[in-house]
Amino acid sequence: MSEGESVEHVGVPCPACSPDTDTVHEVLKPGGQTTVRCTECGHVHQTRLESESTVPIDVVVSQEGESLSSTIERPADTTFSVDEEFILETDAGVFTARITSLETTNGGRVDTADAPDIRTIWTRAVGNVAVPVTVHPKAGTGDRQDTYSTKLHLPGDHTFVVGETETVGDTTITIEGIHLRSPQGPEDRTTLDHDGDQALAKDIKRVYARDESLDPWSPW
């Protein structure tokens, strides 16, 4: 092994000092019969390493109306569930993906499945999201037709709180209501409209707000 080359370590029993318990070994020569050296006693011996079985799974990730496809490799004993998040590396970039649906090999849709039973994992990018916002005119000014819609591009973990004020660019808004993508909390609410109610940007379908800026007719 050349100087500076990384050394692979594995956990296997050592016939000299630990025949019944795995100890850390350096891999000296890989192959069917791998040559290893015990880091506890220095004994060199051969062993057969079991390779971990993995399965390929197609993944579709959507973001702002667009979608891209990729493939991941996962150990066969991995279980996936709807609403779980994982890091997805693709040629287009790295995404934090939240599972929205699992398509099985027989064409069905389930909430939980083992890797070998999954044909496609359908996901939504939640690392950075675009939150639709409906903005009503400042109290005492404008008419209903002056209400406008926009989108805020924010980290998925950004928190919106009903009753609190957000400043985006030159526009200041007060959050009046939040419509969630799916029911949350013990009451399974999809609409939050009480002061103090809060939700993460990645969980929000739409925010309703009141324009508090001095120039309320200039959407950010």
* 218 assigned to some structural domain: no
Q: What residue numbers bound the domain in which 117 lies?
A: 54-126
Looking at residue 2, what is its pLDDT? Answer: 44
pLDDT band at 8 (very low <50, low <70, confident <90, very high): confident
| The domain boundary residue, chosen from 101, 126, 151 | 126
Q: Full-prediction pTM beyond 0.75? A: no
Question: What is the tens place of the pLDDT at every residue in 159-214?
Answer: 999 999 988 767 789 999 999 999 887 788 999 999 999 999 999 999 999 988 75
58: CATH = 2.40.240
| The domain boundary residue, chosen from 100, 126, 152 | 126
Question: What is the tens place of the pLDDT at every residue in 52-87?
Answer: 678 999 999 999 889 999 999 888 889 999 999 999
Q: Which two tokens stand for residue 165?
A: 């004020």
* Torsion sign, CA atoms 80, 84, 85, 91: positive
* 2 assigned to some structural domain: no
CA atoms within 13 Å, Cβ hemisphere of 41: 12
Are 155 and 195 members of one domain? Answer: yes
Question: What is the tens place of the pLDDT at every residue in 20-56?
Answer: 888 889 989 887 788 999 999 999 999 988 766 789 9
| The domain boundary residue, chosen from 81, 107, 126 | 126
